[in-house]
Structure 1
C-alpha cells in the first residue's frame, strides 16, 4: 500500500509497538561503534603536522604512512582543512571575535600612502612618466631629499573601525603624532555619538602615539578604556588591517588620479559607499550601517 519494502514496514511497526508515537521520530544513522575509525593518536599527529608545518594531506600522509583521503577526512572533521583558518604565526586555529553591540570596541590605526605627483603616479602612467611627474611636482613644491631627489611626501590616514558594525571613520593628516591621533579620537567619538553610538573601549597597536600619557589621559576624559594589542601580533587588530587593504583596493589605487588632491577629494564619496552601500562579507552581504541598531539607545 505505501510502496515500501516489507522490512521497512516491519521496522516502523515494531518501533510503534515498543515506544508509541515517540518511536516515530527519525533516529541517527551513526553506528554505535566505529572500529575502523582513525585512532586518536594518529588524529593528534595529523593535526600537529598541520598546525606546526602547514602541510597538505598528501605530505602528511607520506610522513605518517596513511592514505591522503584519510588525512583529508581528519582535517575536515577538525575544521582545519583550509590553511586560511590557521594562524600563520602560531599555527593554531584562528580565533575570531566580535563584540555584541556598536561602540563596545573601536579599532584605531594609521596607514600610509605615498602622495601622487601632478599628472599621476607610476602605477598608471608608467615608470618613466611617473619620474617626470615627480620632478615636475618637486619644482612646484620645492620638496626634495638630501640628495636633491623629488620627495612627494606621505599621507597618513588615521582610521577608526567599530568592531561590531565595521562602520569606518577616516581622517587624512601629514603625521602620526600623539596630538593628531588624540584629535582624531575625539572627533571620531563625536561622530559615533551623532549616530547614537557610545564608545566604551578603544583597541590600538603599540605605536608611540597610543602609548603616550596624553592618549591615556584623553581616553580617561572620554570615559573610554584603552587597550593595546600584544607586541608583534597585528592579527589582534585584524579587522582594521583588513579594512586598510579594502581601502587601498577600493580607493587609493582604484583609478588614475591626476594629483594627490584629486585622490583626497574622492575619499568621502568612497567612505560613504563603504559604510552605506558596499556589501560586507562578514555581515551577511549587508553594508556596515545596517548594524547601527542603537537608535532606541539600548547600549548608551
Structure 2
C-alpha cells in the first residue's frame, strides 16, 4: 500500500497486513536493517501472524538482489516517468503497473511467457491492434490509438 506522509509503526503494519491479505500469510519475510523494522508494533505484528523475519546483511544490497532489482525497476521504468496527484492516485497507478509487470510483460528468458504464466498464474492474451484508429484528444493536442 501507499501511505501519505511519514510512515510510523501503525502505518507500516497496516500496509504490510493489507499487502498480505490478498496473497496469504508468508512463513518468512526478509527485511533490511531499516529502523522501521525495529518498531515494537512491527515485531508484535510478526509474532501474532507467526512470521519469522530474516534480516539482510547490513550495508550489503547484494544480500537482497531480487528486491533491489525490483525497486530499481519500479523506479526506472515507472515512477521516474509517471505523475500522480496523491497517495490514492499513486496506489491505483502502482496496481496497474503490477498487473502489466506480472501479467502482460513477456520475457525472452521465459521463452516469451509472462512471469504470472511461468509461476502458474493466469496470463491474459496480448491485445491485438489489427484494427485501430486514432482518436483526437484535447482539441487536437494529441491522439490516442483506439481499437475498432
TM-score scaled to structure 2, two decimals? 0.66
Task: Please name the residue that 2:38 is paired with.
Answer: 211
2:69 is the counterpart of 1:242: yes
Equivalent pairs counted in the alignment come to: 118
**Gap runs ≥5 in structure 1:** 1-170, 295-300
Does the 8 A contact of 1:201 with 1:225 survive in 2? Answer: yes
TM-superposed CA distance for 1:285, in Å, is: 4.6
In 2, the alpha carbon distance for the partners of 1:180 and 1:247 equals 22
C-alpha deviation, 1:291, in angstroms: 4.6
CA distance in 2, matches of 1:282, 1:228: 30
Establish whether residue 201 from structure 1 lines up as the match of residue 31 from structure 2.
no
Query: What's the C-alpha RMSD, in Å, of the aligned pairs?
Result: 2.6
Q: Tell me the residue number matched to 2:19.
A: 188
Alpha carbons of structure 1 residues 236 and 269: separation in structure 2 relative to 1, 3 Å: same
The alignment partner of 1:172 has SS state of coil
Conserved? CA contact 1:252–1:263, under 8 Å: no
2:145 aligned residue:
none
1:271 aligns with 98
Post-superposition Cα deviations, 1:187-238, rounded to whole Å, max 9, x if no partner, equal: 1221112xxxx51100011111112232222111112111111111121122
Distance 2:17 2:73 in 1: 25
The higher-RCO structure (CA 8 Å, 6+ apart) is 1
* Contact 1:178/1:208 (<8 A) preserved: no
Flag the 1:277–1:233 CA change in 2: closer, same or farther, 3 A: same
Distance 1:236 1:214 in 2: 25
Question: What CA distance in whole angstroms lies between the structure 2 residues aligned with 1:287 and 1:172?
Answer: 26
Which has the higher Rg, Structure 1 or Structure 2? 1
Structure 1 241/280 Cα, relative in aligned 2: closer, same or farther at 3 Å?
Answer: farther
Task: Quote the offset at 1:292 in angstroms.
Answer: 4.3
- 1:270–1:221 CA distance, 2 compared to 1 (3 A): same
Determine if the alignment matches structure 1 residue 287 to structure 2 residue 117: no
**Structure 2: runs of 5 or more not aligned:** 122-148
Distance 2:117 2:49 in 1: 26
Question: TM-score, length-normalised on structure 1?
Answer: 0.35
Task: Describe the SS at the equivalent of 2:43.
Answer: helix
What do residues 137-163 of structure 1 show as CA deviations (whole Å, max 9, x unaligned)? xxxxxxxxxxxxxxxxxxxxxxxxxxx
* Matches of 1:260 and 1:247, distance apart in 2: 18
Q: Contact conserved, 2:31 with 2:54, CA < 8 A, in 1?
A: yes
Give the aligned partner of residue 233 of structure 1: 60
Aligned twin of 1:88: none
